[in-house]
Structure 1
Amino acid sequence: MSRISVRGFAVASATAVTTVGAVVGVASGDPQSSSDNNFEAAAADTTLLAEIPAGQHAQVATASLAQQADVQAAAVDEAAKKNAEEAARIQAASDAKAKKEAADKKAADEKAAKEKAEKAEKEAKERQEQGEVASRSASRDASSFEPQTSYTVAEVKAIARQIVPAGQFQCFSTIVNHESTWNYKAVNPSSGAYGLVQSNPGSKMASVAPDWRTNPATQIQWGLNYMNERYGSPCGAWDFWQDNRWY
């Protein structure tokens, strides 16, 4: 135990002793004793634990420990308060960061969705333009071909090359090959789809000519019109077919 830490309690004890002495001096009619006691009281302000009577050491020590406990408790409370404030600050910063990240993600998702929609719109427009160009660049119309009683695959392909624009022919040919293997009388037993491009129902091709059952030129013309109108071009239709296995 330090001497400084119990100074207040030592002074209090010495003062109490001095006060008792003063009372005794006055009672005995000894003014000198009272004066001496006052001097001792003043001197007690600087009294240290070593000068306190041995009988009062335990009392002073107990009081000092209580004082130290109060100081330590106050320090613990202050530390706990600072810790709580720091924890609140960290939590607030974490919440703000999470909120910002969520806002950034939402903005990024909206931007991606917008870009995707713009890309799809651009591609659709390009397909439409390609289809218009393809239609304008077709060399012959189905009605310009004399009907025959039958056609070979080579003859059907030759007709298609004259109706379908050169830049779109490979895509058109690939679709027809998958749908009917160039058989203009092909019938799907499940759906009833008919012809080179497997129109379902086949009667749709009557919009070009009534001979759709037997004239591959009519079927090719209808198929080209369909691909241009729905997908922008035969190549647009082929892109869709690859993703979905139908068009």
Structure 2
Amino acid sequence: MLEGNRVSRISVRGFAVASATAVTAVGAVTGVASGSVGQPSSDAEATAGDSMLLADLPTGQQAQVQTASLTQQADAQAIAADVGAKKDAEESARKQAAADAIAKQKAAQKAEEAAKARKEAEAAASRSSRDASSFPVQSSYTVSQIQAMARQIVAAGQFQCFSNIVDHESSWNYRAVNPSSGAYGLFQALPGSKMSSVAADWQTNPATQIKWGLNYMNSRYGSPCEAWSFWQANHWY
């Protein structure tokens, strides 16, 4: 009877030691996964020497200890995977935030440029309404005179684009006629009579044509420079 009690105590002690050993081993794995570094505890050192007692346990108890050990190892690995996934998500969010900030900055800059172009176009339209009729009527006009008119009507920042279109359309000839289509004037309006919306002297007055051409570019494209960009891509406007 005494011997039986002794065996029972050894078995229980072996189960406890094996369990402690398994937990300690798993704890070490968990510590590595979470990034901590340290020395084994004195309890771990004490139980390590008795780890062989696991072989003395009944098969069922051995399975329980091994299952507990594997479960804790799996938990440790899952924790490590969660930490890695969290870091990846934070890095992805940081990159997306930076990309969004750049996109917003570009959009704001584009909106600012568009607003500036509209303001210039509105100012030019207002100036053309005031100045187009202020030029004395002549029987004929030189290219330099026509260009001087345009400079007084078109905003300085838009003039070069405006001039580029006129250069390609008529070479500043306010009486230019396309023999095929009948398009007329500085801007080769088709039909030319649409310029009568500005004044009845559209055939002979460059100032009337300039005003009409500027209004057309502003209303259709937003500004002469936007009209010139379209012309460069399509060779018409």
Q: In which range does the TM-score fall when normalised by the shorter chain?
A: 0.5 to 0.7
The structure with more radius of gyration: 1
Residues 1-247 of structure 1: pairs in structure 2 closer than 5 A:
15-16=3-4, 63-64=56-57, 66=59, 71-99=65-93, 101-102=95-96, 105-106=99-100, 108-133=102-127, 140-141=134-135, 144-147=136-139, 155-165=141-151, 172-183=162-173, 184-187=175-178, 189-190=180-181, 192-213=182-203, 215=204, 218-227=205-214, 230-231=217-218, 236-237=223-224, 239-245=225-231, 246-247=236-237
**Aligned-partner residue type, residue 107 of structure 2:** A
SS at 2:142's partner residue? helix
Q: Mark the runs of 5 or more structure 2 residues left unpaired by the alignment.
A: 11-52
Structure 1 residue 135: Cα displacement: 6.1
Structure 1 residue 204: Cα displacement: 1.4
State whether residues 54 and 62 of structure 2, in contact with CA within 8 Å, keep that contact through their aligned partners in structure 1: no
For normalisation by structure 2, the TM-score amounts to 0.56
Structure 1 residue 133: Cα displacement: 4.8
Identity %: 31
RMSD over aligned Cα atoms: 4.0
State whether residues 194 and 202 of structure 1, in contact with CA within 8 Å, keep that contact through their aligned partners in structure 2: yes
Structure 1 residue 220: Cα displacement: 3.9
Structure 1 residue 129: Cα displacement: 2.5
Structure 1 residue 68: Cα displacement: 6.0
Structure 1 residue 229: Cα displacement: 6.8
For normalisation by structure 1, the TM-score amounts to 0.54
State whether residues 135 and 165 of structure 1, in contact with CA within 8 Å, keep that contact through their aligned partners in structure 2: no
State whether residues 139 and 162 of structure 1, in contact with CA within 8 Å, keep that contact through their aligned partners in structure 2: no
Aligned positions, number: 180
CA distance in 2 between counterparts of 1:179 and 1:195 reads: 9
User: Per the alignment, do residues 242 and 209 of structure 1 end up closer, same or farther by CA in structure 2, a change over 3 Å counting?
Assistant: closer
Q: Mark the runs of 5 or more structure 1 residues left unpaired by the alignment.
A: 1-11, 20-40, 46-59
State whether residues 139 and 163 of structure 1, in contact with CA within 8 Å, keep that contact through their aligned partners in structure 2: no
Structure 1 residue 197: Cα displacement: 1.5
**Aligned-partner residue type, residue 125 of structure 1:** K
